[in-house]
Structure 1
């Protein structure tokens, strides 16, 4: 790092917020790494190492602190974010408006910026998705469209139809229940994921709320030559078991069959991704070399971004050549969590 270590240590003792996102500290005696403003007792100078990225901390073998949560975006610790997330948890079907935020003394523009930094979506968008999920699940269980709309807390039938269609790629009234492909939600520690599967294989697995989700759902329907309905299949149940093991720190391997799609080049990239050992990372350049196409770094990056089987094809294990985490469709904060989780799980297996 360019900054003198003694200067960094003084900033650490002062809990200097100015270093947020620029520097982290690894504590050799505990094996954890922290933000500079961590409330924990500060270590002695000889017991610390400074890093300029979370990836560097993880590569050096340090675990994330459970008090300052350096894998989470800093805005998650923002009082505005904490307050609104708690309110959403308490009443997930409330129809939130900007007037509700003002009534709580929260400026809507402040909340909008904080949530976009943290999650890539505004609080109102997240709240709307939470309500829409209730409607999707009600419709999957055979509820009439009007009942699903009311279950989701939508006052307007057109508003519900529009939101449903934007998420699922078709209007709620067009679902017959006999569709071969079915979409369902699976809860994870990183938020709900949407899976599309037939009885035999999984076609899509993404974090709910991803901007590209609607486009991906349309692509699945086009390639399968079938519409997507709602419900759970045998393949979905199989995937849910794989995900449970993964998040519990067990096997990082996914055994559920997946539907083939994409070009030969993309499939070569995705196959190489699945060869990256859990708990390790590689760069796009390394991935290009692994498929004997060292000149195709940008194409490799595009194929990585086009993956629609999150976690199953572990595109989160690819980082920038400089050690930076780069982008991730599910959000960089999830990418940080996943890398750390796999390294922690690997230590447990080794022990």
Structure 2
């Protein structure tokens, strides 16, 4: 049960069947129906808020009740509220960090963020770290209010004393009961490396049309390291990327090329942000931001649908009489 349509319209339930009606929703899936005998709006399909509204805070489904004999329609809005049916999840359950033994205490290292598609209190709320006295956790607030965990070196490393450090990063949401997700962090201590990679740009911005061919190289990030040997070899990694963007773009770890994996659609998304890190063989790194803006091309035709139409009309019908309801969408 979603709502009492007959009551809201001031109709007797039996009157709905007599007047002829239908429920029409945007898209292929019809999520709602009206029970003819009771006049109740009911669900017709299972509704997954995270699937329908991945990028929208307020999730609304819209449909129309068409009264065919009266040639009237009524707009219906249903807000889908969130439940805590998703736990925070890290993209990688195992995180490998390489840290120079000469790193000064107080140094900070960005960690992978967890993702929870639920909203409000049911979404990601906190992080905690356990496992080793050499490290502590700091959480910074991002520009959009997101929480960004950072590993803080609390006590100087001694590679001869301990070559590896095992930690556990736990992410929790605010549901009741709370759901959690974990990632194991393995820190490897390294010998001295006195030069970090440096990107040629602090931020890369590129604009591409939505019909750019799959497989195209959209942008190439470049970092250099003045060290020699293993400490001067640079490889590239995606530090922060959304689930959607990870399905669309691929970063070549050796060349820094960002390639298109599948067709872009301006109507589905017009901007994507990636954070790329360049790591050398000694555990030092630099970070850059990549913004990919998608420009629209005219790849959609207007679609006209007849929502309702009368089959006959009297020759003396007055001018202005409604004979059909049309809907146009592009």
- Class of the TM-score when normalised by the shorter of the 2 chains: under 0.3
TM-score (norm 2): 0.25
Higher helix residue share: 1
TM-score (norm 1): 0.24
Higher strand residue share: 2
